[in-house]
Structure 1
């Protein structure tokens, strides 16, 4: 396994900040907004009331009930509480699933660009990650033809991440249905990572493959409160799917971490059941930032960005920069470019190598407009 490149870059940027460097960081995958007050208060009340002991391994009943209602309200999905479990963040829900369903000899299809941890988690389970390349021309989305060509007798699972980290692409209902048509009858599982489902723009709507009746027994849905409610540090993720798979993940979790944080579970109940207007307010702000970054980055020679449809990342191609000499060094790939931007111009980005796209950079626009303006100005100067 390799360490997370996003964590590595963020740590390096923080170390440079501690040295007094004026770093503009666009590397972290977390909202810059605070956790909503009503969520914080629920956590404080949990402490004051003594709700600080072990809970049921797979989560407290009231949180499972809130998750079931969230799926019904926001995603058009019907689950029973015994088809849901709560984990220590979205990463654990995904890792539990890979460990439960995959083993040596299995292949897991992962469209690229992909979130950095998908292939490493597959390797942790003993299986083999198989990258399915996509292109900027297709909006970084896998086509049915791409999927068909990648399937082998060893294919055990497809990972579908929509809205996508890092590209911001969102598969439409028609696109999801076309992909699922390829899988029908093949006995291939689908792990649908829907962490950014509530952060989408314009008329775009996220569509879960679990809504397709013929695929319901083959789809596992992963989500969490981290991005939607700015609760990254609270570490609450949740998983839903066929009961036998959830039971297997529950068993794995019981022997690794046991239950998620009790206090954070109470806060998550408040987040899911509370006033959802804060979600829309923040989504609108992200949309303004997205629009700014899209136009500003495309104005820089050598940079080409697609318009993200969801999440809070933009994933520009820097094909026009790779091969050039900057700062006295030839830029061989995105890792060189990211290092140059950080060390010479104090802008923290994440190289696309980590996402299976060595000609791209991931920039998070979970930062103020002022910070984004400064970052783009520095990048423009760096590439001149």
Structure 2
């Protein structure tokens, strides 16, 4: 009796991993969790104080469907000062996390059967979001030698009259790569020529280890018109449970998103929005301090992984992940079905290290680890991986 659309939805690999971890921890086993995509920091104090102040001042009534004007104004200032993009306040919609912002965008853009290009490797929820709103995800294979960045040549092979949008993760989850302006320009021009919208997921934009980051919408006025910029506070301000994300787009799309959101949820929690206001207004130094620590962990992880043969990886320039190529171990392992799931299951059972199998991101020869954990845990986890790989090589 359930909806037929559910039959096409892939269960979450990360939820499955969390379930396995919980069962092993119940046995009081020492599990190193390198699978979670959640900052290990607490929400900055000034953000929490703004939420508490809002509660005491009874700011708990309904508000605008598109979000608090006070919050949208600080988002407007952030986008202008940091990303060099000017949006009117009414072109910004605050939602329940970036995930919700992307879903709203897809609902606003897609008719039944419209296609959305999703470069591989992709974040696990992109294809499921597209399917849930009646669209069709179209995967495009990217080249490891190009750091898995999609090119116009690859797009030309799959674009047709049903193509409505492309989702670009920048910085990327799971790889941590960052598109430079010179790489974005031809993609933007191709999308303009073919009437394709760009959903630019920039949730990790502040966790960036380079100096020349460029938002897609900042390329040109024409780029801005076809781009929906997605961002939020979950990663940059360690506000995962508060559920605050936002989209910025042209007025027609923003009005559509606001209308959809008004009917589905009214608006995000006002208390969470005031916390986000506090984070963007007063917590820049705390956010920079988090990024500095992530960078240190990145450097430590890279130095250890370089010594683990035959593993290889793409050097991450942002986010807090490493996407590790385990394909050279295939010949040493007797597996059925998904290789990355088999590898991850054995690693968890035998070495007590949790990682995400690459099949979750459309790439079965890889695993993803997160360094959003303590440095000690990270080092211990990587040392265990090294021992596990050595054991596999000698089986």
User: Which TM-score applies when normalising by structure 1?
Assistant: 0.96
SS at match of 2:297: helix
Contact residue 210 and residue 219 of structure 1 kept, 8 A: no
Task: Please say if residues 42 and 270 of structure 1, whose CA atoms lie closer than 8 Å, have aligned partners that are also in contact.
Answer: yes
1:303-354 deviations in whole A, cap 9, x for unaligned? Answer: 101110110001011111224237xx67951111111111221111101101
Partner Cα separation in structure 2 for residue 11 and residue 35 of structure 1: 25
Q: 1:200 to 1:383 in 2, by over 3 A?
A: same
Where 2:237 maps in the other structure, the secondary structure is: coil
Q: SS state of the match for residue 321, structure 1?
A: helix
> 2:371 maps to which residue?
365
The residue that corresponds to 1:351 in the other structure is 357
SS at match of 1:221: strand
Deviations 1:208-234 (A, max 9, x none): 234322222211111001100000000
Partners of 2:181 and 2:219 within 8 A in 1: no
Deviation at 1:243, TM superposition (A): 1.1
How do 1:290-369 residues align onto structure 2 when only pairs under 5 Å count? 290-325=298-333, 333-369=339-375
Q: Secondary structure at the match of 1:320?
A: helix
Q: Residue in 1 aligned with 2:68? A: 60
Alignment of 1:1-384 (within 5 A): 1-325=9-333, 333-384=339-390
How many positions carry a matched residue from both structures? Answer: 382
Dislocated runs of 4+, deviation >4 Å:
329-332
**Structure 1 SS opposite 2:311:** coil
Q: Distance in 2 between matches of 1:251 and 1:184?
A: 26
Gap regions ≥5 residues in structure 1: none
Shift of 1:12: 2.5
CA contact (8 A) 1:324 1:330 kept: no
Larger displacement relative to structure 2 (33-42 or 251-260): 251-260
What's the CA shift for 1:241?
Answer: 0.2
TM superposition shift of 1:369: 1.1
